[in-house]
Amino acid sequence: MYACTCAITGHLPRAARSGRCGAAPDTGGPDRFPFASERRLPSDPPTFKRPRNDPTVSETVAEVGEFRLIERFTRHFGTTDAVLLGPGDDAAVVAAPDGRVVACTDMLVEGNHFRRDWCSAADVGHKAAAVNLADVAAMGARPTALLAAVCAPQDTPAEWLEGLAAGLADEAAAVGAAVVGGDTTRGDQLTITVTALGDLEGRAPVTRGGARPGDVIALAGKVGWAAGGLNVLSRGFRSPGALVGAYRRPQPPYAAARDAALMGVNAMIDVSDGLLADLGHIATASGVAIDVDTAALPVPEAMRNAAEALGSDARRWLLTGGEDHALAAAFPADVLLPEGWRRIGSVAEGAGVTVDGRRWTGPTGWDHFATA
């Protein structure tokens, strides 16, 4: 072990159908839905086996060994002023100027959250970091540190895990945080578990339970794009790149979260399971009713074209698709929305979530244990 962690809080990790991962837009094809003649990707995850005595294939983790692997993994990690002691000891030491630490954790499992033939190691690293950093940001906190634990089969290429480490470090650095430790172990299924820490900087935490009747519901970031990318990849294609890219590597609006906290937002949540599902969490925790105005959520042309080509419903992608890690929040009606936020609904007395004043029929988002 190169560090340990405890005191984990937050909601259950979002789930995904077979093969959910996240990343930069795919440059392997044009930003359009492919013609039927385009090479299709396999529909099932391949089995990764290292050919015997093949010198062109990267060393496996079994050949490298645990301690060399940890050395190669941690060399990608930077540091910040908040890191008082980083990787290399029994535990890391991270400054907590506020005196309170915001903590959350998420797990990514191969075949459930990502597929290695659909995304690179760096993509998975970026996503594993982003899903946690978005949760910390949604609490109104400044992310400070990540801890990453990896369970890998013995035949996993060590080079792949280095790419994972680079992705983790890059996403953390984007918000001024650092990876400070974690753990490695052997197992039958490749699994990445990340814990994020954050500092409230003297502010009260922003929870799901603060929405009040009369508030406006606002959104920062994109929704529906990752769901579209998942549908495209599931059909065996690699474009439109904007959709596939959003699925591979989400881009949470980190700065918008801090701006909302400074403006006195009443409630906020990371949209990981689907807009309607996550607004439902706010409605339940706050004891209010929320109505979504679909006129404020126009379907982008690229999304609409892809959905039509696939025989899918782009509107459902927008309302129920997860993994974009946008932010949804309830603001007092008299607050000028910060830059990057747009009004999409309202809060009233009552319970539940409606769409244009009507009850939504069908799934509202992802449920790890209820969805086959």
Q: Which residues are annotated as a binding site for ATP?
A: 182-183, 208, 272
> What are the angstrom distances between the C-alpha of 342 and each of 64, 231, 241, 259, 294?
50, 27, 25, 13, 12
Which residues belong to the annotated binding site? Answer: 90, 105-106, 113, 135, 182-183, 208, 270, 272-273, 323, 366
Which residues belong to the annotated binding site for Mg(2+)? Answer: 90, 105-106, 135, 183, 270, 273
Q: Which two tokens stand for residue 349?
A: 């007395």
- Report the alpha-carbon distance of residue 335 to residue 227 in Å, rounded: 31
* 70 CB neighbour count, 10 Å cutoff: 21
Tell whether omega for the bond before 213 is within 30 degrees of 0, i.e. cis: no
DSSP 8-state secondary structure symbol assigned to residue 296: G
Which residues are CB-contacts of 211 (< 8 A; sequence separation ≥ 6)? 266, 267, 282, 283, 285, 286, 288, 290, 330, 347
Which residues belong to the annotated binding site for substrate? Answer: 113, 323, 366
| Secondary structure class of 282 (helix, strand, coil) | helix
| Secondary structure class of 24 (helix, strand, coil) | coil
Cross-strand pairs, 267: 330
Q: Where are the beta strands (DSSP E) in 68-131?
A: 83-85, 93-94, 101-109
CA 346 remoteness from chain centre: 26
Max CA-CA distance within the chain? 68
Using left for φ > 0, alpha for ψ between -120 and 50, and beta otherwise, residue 305 falls in alpha
> Are 54 and 363 a contacting pair, CB within 8 Å?
no
- Report the alpha-carbon distance of residue 282 to residue 286 in Å, rounded: 6
Q: Which two tokens stand for residue 91?
A: 């535990």
> Are 219 and 326 a contacting pair, CB within 8 Å?
yes
- Report the alpha-carbon distance of residue 184 to residue 165 in Å, rounded: 12
- Report the alpha-carbon distance of residue 192 to residue 149 in Å, rounded: 6
